[in-house]
């Protein structure tokens, strides 16, 4: 596809190249254009700009897939709406890009547009969340996090914390402020908590989506406080919602912290990207953060390179992640036979 474009562009340029031999200005212009032809064009459909994690992820992609590294990146923000992303992918297909990178908002509903991309011979690389399609050959590969593992680490931390402080399981009254419903991050993090609550006998009072944004986190927390008077753990599926939730808790006269048998509300969350949440974690306002690594750019760059070389990269590529907390009751957790040392953010 690219080769054809290069040949066509060169043919179009030929008269200019021949006519402009004596003029340095024309030569310069031609050299620039010739350089552009070498770039690999990537259409990147990012799902939105809802969180600090997302913005860092976008930045990582823009840096790795910049012209300096041989790419021409076309970035489209889907504003958290799948319909916008489908339009963007169709536009990339029409433009004849070399690769499509898709960070899908939700898992369902991608079959048609991914089939269109395959029919156009454009490889698709998924980043962050996944798509639920029966035919896995509709995308080349995926890079992202194991969201359920993040949640297992978090709930292992919570279990260890309650054991160290002699808090019996039925005394945990938890609300889950979920991410955008139907997204892989939400599904994994919600499932991990629901399983742990069932296994440990925790009281899971409510699950409500805060759409991964600070404002929604604040709003949902306010509503939850009106509906329940015994909440002592708030499990937020990302840091931005945790920041909003803490605001709502404090505005309602609650104290956030670890003394949950004496009226404090424990907040835990995911990401560890945003500086305010890391500061809250150092202060103990957020008791634990399961890290979610947004730096996918260099990995996507390497995957494209592999595809360019005719290699078949691993289908699923996981990033490494840890656990942050400054509550000294828990030093490490073990999940699926792997030990994770709790780190300072």
51 neighbors 216 (Cβ within 8 angstroms)? no
Q: Provide the total of helices (H) and of strands (E) in the chain, helices listed first.
A: 11, 14
Q: How far is the CB of 340 from ligand GYE (least distance, A)?
A: 18
Residue 58 CA to chain centroid, in angstroms?
Answer: 10
Interface positions with ligand GYE (CB under 6 A): 50-51, 53-54, 128-129, 145, 183, 185, 212, 238, 270-271, 292
Residue 214 or 301 with smaller CB distance to ligand GYE: 214
Determine which helix (DSSP H) or strand (DSSP E) holds 288, and give its type and residue range: strand 286-291
Q: Alpha helix (H) ranges present in 168-274?
A: 184-200, 214-227, 239-251
Structure tokens at 261: 């048998």
Residue 149 CA to chain centroid, in angstroms?
Answer: 14
Q: How far is the CB of 286 from ligand GYE (least distance, A)?
A: 14
Q: How far is the CB of 110 from ligand GYE (least distance, A)?
A: 16
Residue 254 or 299 with smaller CB distance to ligand GYE: 299
Cross-strand partners of 291: 271
Residue 43 or 48 with smaller CB distance to ligand GYE: 48
Residue 143 or 307 with smaller CB distance to ligand GYE: 143
Q: How far is the CB of 145 from ligand GYE (least distance, A)?
A: 6
Cross-strand partners of 65: none
**Nearest to 321, CA basis, from 298, 342, 300:** 342
Q: How far is the CB of 309 from ligand GYE (least distance, A)?
A: 29
Residue 40 or 126 with smaller CB distance to ligand GYE: 126
Give how far Cα 123 sits from Cα of 117, 150, 275, Å: 7, 29, 36
Q: How far is the CB of 151 from ligand GYE (least distance, A)?
A: 11
Q: How far is the CB of 165 from ligand GYE (least distance, A)?
A: 28
Residue 40 or 289 with smaller CB distance to ligand GYE: 289
201 phi-psi bin (left φ>0, alpha ψ -120 to 50, beta other): left
> What is the C-alpha separation between 219 and 244, in angstroms, rounded?
8
13 neighbors 30 (Cβ within 8 angstroms)? yes
Residue 162 or 190 with smaller CB distance to ligand GYE: 190
């Amino acid at each position: 596809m690219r080769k054809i474009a290069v040949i066509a562009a060169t043919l179009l340029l030929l008269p200019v190249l021949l006519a402009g031999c004596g003029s340095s200005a024309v030569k310069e212009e031609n050299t620039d254009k010739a350089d552009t032809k070498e770039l690999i064009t990537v259409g990147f459909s990012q799902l939105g700009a809802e969180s600090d994690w997302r913005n860092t992820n976008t930045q990582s992609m823009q840096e790795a897939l910049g012209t300096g590294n041989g790419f021409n990146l076309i970035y489209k923000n889907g504003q958290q709406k799948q319909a916008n992303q489908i339009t963007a992918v169709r536009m990339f297909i029409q433009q004849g890009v070399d690769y499509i990178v898709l960070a899908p908002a939700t898992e369902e509903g991608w079959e048609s547009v991914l089939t269109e991309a395959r029919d156009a011979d454009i490889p698709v690389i998924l980043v962050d969340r996944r798509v639920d399609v029966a035919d896995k050959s509709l995308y080349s590969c995926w890079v992202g996090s194991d969201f359920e593992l993040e949640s297992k680490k978090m709930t292992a931390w919570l279990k260890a914390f309650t054991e160290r402080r002699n808090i019996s399981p039925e005394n945990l009254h938890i609300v889950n402020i979920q991410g955008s419903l139907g997204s892989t991050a939400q599904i994994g993090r919600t499932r991990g908590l629901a399983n742990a609550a069932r296994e440990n006998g925790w009281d899971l009072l409510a699950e409500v989506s805060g759409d991964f944004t600070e404002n929604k986190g604040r709003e949902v927390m306010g509503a939850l406080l009106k509906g329940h008077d015994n909440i002592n753990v708030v499990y937020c599926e990302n840091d931005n919602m945790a920041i909003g939730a803490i605001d709502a808790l404090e505005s309602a006269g609650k104290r956030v912290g670890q003394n949950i048998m004496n009226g404090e509300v424990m907040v835990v969350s995911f990401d560890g990207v945003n500086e305010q949440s890391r500061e809250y974690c150092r202060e103990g306002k957020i008791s634990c953060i399961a890290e979610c690594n947004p730096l996918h750019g260099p990995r996507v760059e390497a995957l494209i390179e592999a595809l360019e070389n005719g290699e078949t990269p691993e289908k699923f590529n996981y990033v490494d992640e840890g656990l942050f907390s400054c509550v000294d009751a828990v030093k490490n957790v073990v999940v699926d036979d792997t030990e994770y040392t709790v780190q300072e953010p």
